[in-house]
Structures are given as C-alpha cells and as structure tokens.
Amino acid sequence: MTLYMIGIGLWDEKDITVKGAEAIKKCSKVFLENYTSKPGVSIERLEKFHGKKIILADRNLVEKHNYEILEPAKQECVSFLVIGDVFSATTHTDLYLTAIKEGINVIVINNASILNVVGIVGLELYKYGKTTSIPFHNKDVEAPYDVIKQNKKNKLHTLLLLDIDAEHNKYMMVKEAIEYLLRVENKRREKVFTKTTTCVGVARLGSEKPKIISGTAEQLLKADFGEPLHSLIVPGELHFVEEDALKQWKNI
Ligand SMILES: C[S@@+](CC[C@H](N)C(=O)[O-])C[C@H]1O[C@@H](n2cnc3c(N)ncnc32)[C@H](O)[C@@H]1O
C-alpha cells in the first residue's frame, strides 16, 4: 500500500506536522529509526500521543533487514519515523529507493532538522560550508579538522555533528568534541582550531530550553551544556550582524 517516511522534528511528540500525525493514524505498523538521533521525550510518550505501538528500528534492521519494513508496506500503510527530517544529515535514500523499486507507494513528510534549526545561533545558514561529524573512535581521524580548515579557507562556518552510540546510550558532548579537535591541532599545529578559536556549542535545539554558548574553545571546555544532544559550530568570517548575534550567547 504505502510507506510513509515521516520526519518527527527534533524534540517532543508535538513537533510532528499535522500531515505526519494524520498519516500515522492510517498505519498498522509504526517504526522509529533510533540510531542516528535521539528524541527529546520517551518512546512511551510518543506512543501515547499517537495511540500506536512504536517498533524501534536499529541500524541492523534498516540496513540489513529492511524487508521487515517493506514487506508489510506492500499490503498495508506503514510509517517509518525519523527524528528531525527524513533525508537531512542521515541516509535513508537506500530504503526509499528499494521501496520504489519494489513498487511500493512512498510518501515523504518533512520536518525541521538540526541543519536548519541551527539558524537560531545567528550565523547565516547559506554561509555554512561542508558539515562534518566527529566519531567516538577518533584516534587516527583528522577529517573533521580538515573540513574546518577548508571551510575557514572559504570563509565559511562549520557545523560539527557529534557521534551517537544509541545501543550503549552514549552521546558525544561539546567538551569531548573540543578536546578531540585540540588533540588534532596539537599534532598538526596548523592553527586551525586552537584554545583561542571562537566556537559555539549548542544543546537540545528545538526544545523550549536550548543551551547555546559562544566563546573560545578553552572557555567552552569549562561550560556545562547539560543533557544531549550536542553540536559544535566553528564560525568562518563573520558579518557584523553575525558578530552581534553571537554576543547574546556569551554569558557562560
Ligand atoms: C545524524 S544527525 C541528525 C539527523 C536528523 N535526521 C536531523 O534532521 O536533524 C544527529 C546529530 O545531530 C546533532 N543534533 C541533532 N539534534 C540536535 C539537537 N536537538 N540539538 C543539538 N544537536 C543536535 C547531534 O550532534 C547529533 O549527534
């Protein structure tokens, strides 16, 4: 019948669009992809709001056993929920293409993503360069440092997404991200990310109580961002309006 791929937004059960909530009502099965992000509320709260049982879909199910989602979608309506937006900073193109190839009707219902909600910081979204992620296992990883270097060369801002290990309930914090970048700086010594580099740490964007702090890397190391999820931004060249916007986040 139909596979609905629905972005549920970044925070609570009410961030879903009316269109998304109405689609879920029609579905006999509701999956929630739970390995690339984390909802701000419990699964029970989401289930209560939608009046449906939610099946958690881990990487193994989505990438290796996607027939568990696709087979029922051939007979009935099935929802595949994604935290944030369906195709933003996450890769569900394979599921989409396989569903289409198998003749399933697919309807995508979009929502806000970390990629646009980060606009609250006040840095122009069109002045961001390549986005990068910092993995937990980063001993020999320098790619995020190189992305900042390239973006800075082009006067562009860098959004760094921080790793998630949902299975072990582990979420990388701003502090760990800064420590990692300083470690790479210590090795490379190219002055791409030093203790005096201005950066902006953000946590729980999309909630009613987001935490946003701008300051030097050294200052942010001491800041308390609280519960996940966290991201880090390294600004490129700042327009004076962007400079003004960052001033409001300086009270640590
Ligand atoms: C793979 S991305 C999220 C993709 C998601 N589909 C979206 O559209 O936002 C997950 C990473 O984005 C960042 N992130 C997601 N939601 C966030 C939030 N509400 N506040 C701060 N950072 C967030 C974190 O660094 C997290 O590890």
Ordered DSSP codes for 197-218? -EEEEEESTTSSS-EEEEEEHH
43-79 exposure pattern, b = at least 16 Cβ within 10 A, e = fewer: eeebeeebebebbebeeebbeeebeebbebbbeebbb
Q: How far is the CA of 74 from the centre of ligand 1 (A)?
A: 31
Q: What share of the chain is helix, strand, coil (3-state, %, to 5)?
A: 40, 25, 40
Q: Report pLDDT for 91.
A: 82
Q: Which atom of ligand 1 is nearest to the CA of 111?
A: 8
Q: What residues contact residue 103 under an 8 Å CB cut-off, 6+ apart?
A: 74
CA pair distance 10, 206, nearest whole angstrom = 6
Check if 232 has its Cβ closer than 6 Å to any atom of ligand 1: no
Phi–psi pair at 8, nearest 5 degrees: -105, 10
Q: How far is the CA of 204 from the centre of ligand 1 (A)?
A: 9
Q: Report pLDDT for 89.
A: 86
Mutate to test the pocket of ligand 1, among 17, 173, 231 (most ligand atoms within 8 A of CB): 231
Check if 90 has its Cβ closer than 6 Å to any atom of ligand 1: yes
Check if 150 has its Cβ closer than 6 Å to any atom of ligand 1: no
Q: Which of 3, 182, 174, 150 is nearest to 86 (CA)?
A: 3
What are the per-10-residue average pLDDT scores of the chain (252 residues)? 97 98 98 95 98 97 96 98 94 94 98 98 98 95 98 98 95 98 98 98 97 97 97 98 96 64
Q: Which atom of ligand 1 is nearest to the CA of 202?
A: 21
Three-class DSSP category at 85: coil
Q: How far is the CA of 72 from the centre of ligand 1 (A)?
A: 29
Q: How far is the CA of 68 from the centre of ligand 1 (A)?
A: 26
